[in-house]
Amino acid sequence: MKKLDAFEQDILTAYEKGELKSTSPSKAKLAKFKAAASATFLKEKRVNIRLSTPDLMDIQARALEEGLPYQTLIASVLHKFVSGRLVESSSSPTNKVRSRKRSAAAI
């Protein structure tokens, strides 16, 4: 088991002392959450894509780490991207290559 950081330890201590209280969402909120979850994972279309073997192996390894099927991981990443919750980090290798090309072009 990994070592808990200070925040996690505080939560565990509060839980063990019985200081935490469970709250339930209202029936309206629960219905809203269920509808959102159903809409998110409604699979009505099939898409076939070709991936390089190393990319597929990396995706399968990441899915195994996350404890879910690799197809589900791919669908989740695509959903997060199109909904704007997944954005490219500024430190990605692709951005570094692009910025170098722009810098070289400016010279």
Q: Does residue 40 form part of some domain?
A: no
Which structural domain, as residue segments, surrounds residue 76? 51-87
Q: Does residue 12 form part of some domain?
A: no
Q: Does residue 71 form part of some domain?
A: yes
DSSP 41-100: T-----------HHHHHHHHHHHHHHTS-HHHHHHHHHHHHHTT-----TTSHHHHHHHH
Q: Does residue 79 form part of some domain?
A: yes
**Residue 71's pLDDT is what?**
92
Q: Does residue 69 form part of some domain?
A: yes
Rounded CA gap, 11 and 17, in Å?
10
**pTM, full prediction:** 0.46
Rounded CA gap, 33 and 63, in Å?
24
Domains held by the chain: number: 1
Q: Does residue 74 form part of some domain?
A: yes
3-state secondary structure of 18: coil
Per-residue pLDDT tens digits for 50-66 = 999 999 999 999 999 99
Q: Does residue 19 form part of some domain?
A: no
